[in-house]
A and B are shown apart, each in its own frame.
Chain A
Amino acid sequence: MAKTNERLWIFDKIRSFGDKIFLVHQDYQYSFTEFCDAIDAAQKKLTENNVTKSEVVGILSDYSFNSLAYFFALFQNGNIISPITVTVNEEIEDRLNEGFINKVLRFSSDGVKISDHESAKQTHSIINNLNEKNQSGLILFSSGSTGKPKAMVHNLDNLLNTYRDKRPKSLIMLVLLLFDHIGGLNTLFNAIATGSTVVIPDSRDATEICKLIEKYRVNILPASPTFLNLILMSEADKQFDLSSLRIITYGTEPMSESLLSRIQHKFSKVKLIQTFGTSETGISHTTSKSSASTLIKIDDPNIEYKIVDDELWLRSKTQILGYLNYSMEKFTEDGWFATGDFVEQKTDGYLKIIGRKQEVINVGGQKVLPAEVESVLMEIPEIADCLVLGATNAITGQAVIAQIVLSENANDINISKIVRRYCKNHLDLFKVPTKVKVVEKIEYSTRFKKIRNSEN
Chain B
Amino acid sequence: MKGKIEKLIINALVDYNEELENPAYGNPDEKTRLYSSEGGMDSIALVGFIADLEERLAVEFNKDIILADERAMSQKRSPFLSVQLLANYIENLLLESEE
Identity of the chain A residue whose Cβ is nearest the Cβ of B40 in the assembled complex: A234
A383 to B35, CA, bound (A): 32
Check B78–A235 contact: CB distance below 8 A.
yes
Complex interface: stretch among B2-10, B22-30, B41-49, B91-99: B41-49
Which B15-62 residues sit within 8 Å CB-CB of chain A? 18-19, 35-38, 42-44, 46-48, 50-52
A-side contacts of B47, CB under 8 Å = 393, 395-396, 399, 434
Check B51–A206 contact: CB distance below 8 A.
no
A-side contacts of B38, CB under 8 Å = 239
Check B43–A364 contact: CB distance below 8 A.
yes
With A207-B37, A434-B48: A394-B42 Cβ-Cβ less than 8 Å: no
Identity of the chain A residue whose Cβ is nearest the Cβ of B51 in the assembled complex: A435
Give chain A's interface secondary structure class: helix
Size of the chain B interface, CB-CB below 8 angstroms = 25
A395: which of B19, B36, B43, B81 is its contact (CB, 8 Å)? Answer: B43
A396: which of B18, B19, B44 is its contact (CB, 8 Å)? Answer: B44
Shortest Cβ distance from residue B74 to the other chain A in the assembled complex, whole angstroms: 7
With A396-B44, A420-B48, A434-B48: A210-B70 Cβ-Cβ less than 8 Å: no
Check B19–A420 contact: CB distance below 8 A.
yes
User: Per-residue 0/1 for A217-245: is the Cβ within 8 Å of any B Cβ (1 yes, 0 no)?
Assistant: 00000000010011011111011100000
Check A206–B37 contact: CB distance below 8 A.
yes
B-side contacts of A434, CB under 8 Å = 44, 47-48, 51
With A207-B37, A394-B68: A364-B44 Cβ-Cβ less than 8 Å: yes
Check A396–B43 contact: CB distance below 8 A.
yes
A421 at the interface (CB under 8 A from B): yes
Identity of the chain A residue whose Cβ is nearest the Cβ of B46 in the assembled complex: A395
A424 at the interface (CB under 8 A from B): yes
With A239-B37, A424-B19, A434-B51: A233-B70 Cβ-Cβ less than 8 Å: no
Size of the chain A interface, CB-CB below 8 angstroms = 36
A-side contacts of B42, CB under 8 Å = 205
A116 to B2, CA, bound (A): 62
A-side contacts of B43, CB under 8 Å = 206, 226, 230, 233, 364, 395-396
Check B74–A262 contact: CB distance below 8 A.
yes
Check B19–A421 contact: CB distance below 8 A.
yes
Which A147-199 residues sit within 8 Å CB-CB of chain B? none
B72 at the interface (CB under 8 A from A): yes
Identity of the chain A residue whose Cβ is nearest the Cβ of B18 in the assembled complex: A417
Shortest Cβ distance from residue A456 to the other chain B in the assembled complex, whole angstroms: 11
With A421-B19, A424-B19: A233-B78 Cβ-Cβ less than 8 Å: yes
A430 at the interface (CB under 8 A from B): yes
A424 to B16, CA, bound (A): 13
Check B74–A258 contact: CB distance below 8 A.
yes
B-side contacts of A430, CB under 8 Å = 44
The 8 A-B residue pairs with the shortest CB-CB distance, nearest first, are: A236-B37, A434-B48, A435-B51, A207-B37, A434-B47, A234-B37, A394-B68, A233-B78
Q: Show 22 residue pairs from A and B whose CB-CB distance is below 8 angstroms, ordered by the A residue.
A: A205-B42, A233-B43, A233-B80, A234-B37, A234-B78, A235-B78, A236-B37, A239-B37, A239-B38, A258-B73, A262-B73, A394-B72, A395-B73, A395-B80, A401-B51, A416-B52, A424-B19, A429-B44, A432-B44, A434-B44, A435-B48, A435-B51
Report which A residues bind B (CB closer than 8 A). 205-207, 210, 226, 229-230, 232-236, 238-240, 258-259, 262, 363-364, 393-396, 399, 401, 416-417, 420-421, 424, 429-430, 432, 434-435
Instruction: Supply 4 further A-B pairs (C-beta < 8 A) apart from A417-B19, A434-B47.
Output: A235-B36, A396-B44, A399-B51, A434-B44
